[in-house]
Amino acid sequence: MMKQFCIILAIVLGLNSCTDLIDVQPENATTYTNYFQTRQDAEALLTELLLRLRNGESNRLGLGLIIDEDSRYQSMRNMATGLTADGSSVYRLIYQASLIIENAHRFQIPEEELKPYLLQAYFANAVGYWRLARDYGEMVILRSTTDFTPLAKSSQKELLDEAEKWALKAMDLPVYDELAGLDGPIIKNYGSKGAAAALLAHLYAWRASVANEPEYWAKAEEYCTMIIDQKVGSYQLAINPESVVLDVMKGNNRENIWELENNAQESRYLTNNFVGFPIITSSGYAPVGGYSYGCKIHKTTVNNMYSRNDQRREAYFYGLDADFLYLKNVNGNIVADTSRKDGDNIVKSYDNKTIKQAFIYKFRYPYFHVTDNTPEPQYRGLNQNEIVWRLGGIYLLRAECRARQNKPDAVDDLNLIRRRAYGNMTASGGIVDAAKESEYAYPCAEDVEKGLANNIQLAIFREREKELFQENHRFYDIVRNGYCFLHDKDSYDYIRKELPAAFSYLTDKDIEDGALFSEVSSNFFTNNDLMRQNLFWNRYNQ
């Protein structure tokens, strides 16, 4: 029965496999309901759920990246493809969560033992429908795990309602430090009260702007404040940008609200495409002539983004101001350096003044695989977690919410993140040197120079792109801010000015018809004659 059920589901939703679910109960079980009985059954379902949660989060990263030379994402960035999101992975997640929720009454375990699994399923469902609303605008809301009749797409408002419903239920989760009742170690893949609050904060901000319901800016601010005031968990900003890189981006840090455990050998990150020298010093990643750099950002771009005294400039990028880059042999290992001294075993030197490329230094934990057949270790992926939401981003999201409501205290959150960036923040968020505050506090001289002094909303956007560089936020930040231009022509046109050049040709109608949302891929039309293509992509593909 279960195998037949999985085959049907695979046809309708395009699932790859249900083999993990088949083994929930012994093979001599005779009915579908036998698979939902014990705590071990619930644990098996939750394990599968956590695997599903990791998928579908980073697939649109290439759209918002700041890139000067691009050979990897050109098709996507030129709108030559339908900007397709990984909808199949999202539906696998929703289906897995729904299995737990719909069959909760079948488990023969006490309600209190089952509750932690249900709460995780609520959070996963919220994440799933949030991703559909964010990436597709309109998509199908599943009736149940056993109803496979054709379904028409629901509106973005209905998807956001569905995500909100499950996220509010997930607010009954404990704070992360108090998660209990689950077998095995507690990791930040799990939903928590703080993660649910962060989801609601982003959902309400999206609703306020993209769905043009500005009353939700206050709700988004409210949930940001819950996180900042530690009402939904104990979160704390790292002390400086170097700590962000070494500790926060590694994972399992107090600044992180929700993150996805990463197995380096899976090479899941799209950020893998940008990791090279000096993290990897093997021949294919050399500063000059390396074949690995399909996407490059130039030093001039970095220097335009970050001022000289912004410590993120040094933490996120390597050797920008160095005259030479060196490869040294240190005890048989090849390492990078920007200086040399007597006795150094220099393998290779490069004149950095002639190199246009800036080398990204934000992701510093590579995984190497060594075999008998390879003369040097082979890079296989990043040995660090994928940080979805962290406290630094929440401060800047609250600043955005407050600015949209014309609240003067928006500047406080902006200045706090700048304070850390300039190395002027105490452990409690206070000021180390009051005289230094004028160097960066909004509106500083640089804000005047860059035309930001009278546009705090744009200043916050610029701060988010600097702080959250390559953390998969910029595209969604552009969309969220850009929709305001459709309703207020006096605002900044983020979509046409901040996205790749192909997007500058979009009309207002193109955007309203879904040009920034994903094209519905062909597998969603199988056995569903009620499915319809996104209006823009239907017109574009004709």
Query: What is the pLDDT, as a whole number, of residue 28?
Result: 40
* 508 confidence band (pLDDT: 50, 70, 90): very high
Three-state DSSP class for residue 472: coil
Rg of the chain taking only CA atoms, in angstroms: 24
> Residue 73 above 50 pLDDT?
yes
CA 344 vs CA 153, 211, 331, 332: distances in Å? 64, 60, 11, 12
**Which has more pLDDT, 540 or 413?**
413
pLDDT over 70 percentage in the chain? 89
> Residue 275 above 90 pLDDT?
no
Query: What is the pLDDT, as a whole number, of residue 11?
Result: 32
HSE-CB for 405 with a 13 A CA cutoff: 21
Instruction: Report the candidate in 12, 199, 18 with the shortest Cα–Cα distance to residue 122.
Output: 199
Structure tokens at 534: 């996104």
Query: What is the pLDDT, as a whole number, of residue 60?
Result: 66
Query: What is the pLDDT, as a whole number, of residue 494?
Result: 96
Query: What is the pLDDT, as a whole number, of residue 221?
Result: 98
Residue 462 phi/psi, 5° resolution? Answer: -60, -35
Q: Which amino acid is at 155?
A: S
Q: Do residues 53 and 93 touch, judged by C-beta distance below 8 A?
A: yes
Query: What is the pLDDT, as a whole number, of residue 181?
Result: 78
Q: Do residues 24 and 30 touch, judged by C-beta distance below 8 A?
A: no
HSE-CB for 108 with a 13 A CA cutoff: 5
> Residue 15 above 50 pLDDT?
no
- The residue behind tokens 């083999």 is 19
**Which has more pLDDT, 320 or 527?**
320
CA 378 vs CA 58, 219, 266, 369, 374: distances in Å? 24, 48, 14, 5, 8
**Which has more pLDDT, 18 or 240?**
240
To 10 degrees, what angle do helices 193-209 and 216-228 make?
A: 150
Q: Do residues 382 and 264 touch, judged by C-beta distance below 8 A?
A: yes
Query: What is the pLDDT, as a whole number, of residue 82?
Result: 61
- Altogether, the residues listed in the chain come to a count of 542
* 274 confidence band (pLDDT: 50, 70, 90): confident
Q: Do residues 456 and 411 touch, judged by C-beta distance below 8 A?
A: yes
Pairing of the two strands 256-260 and 386-390: antiparallel
What would the mean pLDDT of 508-515 be, rounded to a whole number? 95
Per the prediction, the chain carries an average pLDDT of: 88
Per residue in 295-316, pLDDT (tens digit) is: 899 999 999 999 999 999 999 9
What would the mean pLDDT of 70-76 be, rounded to a whole number? 81
H-only helix segments in 468-542? 474-487, 494-498, 508-512, 535-540
Query: What is the pLDDT, as a whole number, of residue 59?
Result: 59
DSSP 98-154: HHHHHTGGG--S-HHHHHHHHHHHHHHHHHHHHHHHHHHSSBPPP--SS--S--PPB
Query: What is the pLDDT, as a whole number, of residue 56?
Result: 62
Q: Do residues 168 and 236 touch, judged by C-beta distance below 8 A?
A: no
Query: What is the pLDDT, as a whole number, of residue 288?
Result: 84
What would the mean pLDDT of 48-63 be, rounded to a whole number? 76
Would the pTM count as exceeding 0.85?
Answer: yes
Query: What is the pLDDT, as a whole number, of residue 264?
Result: 65
* 135 confidence band (pLDDT: 50, 70, 90): very high
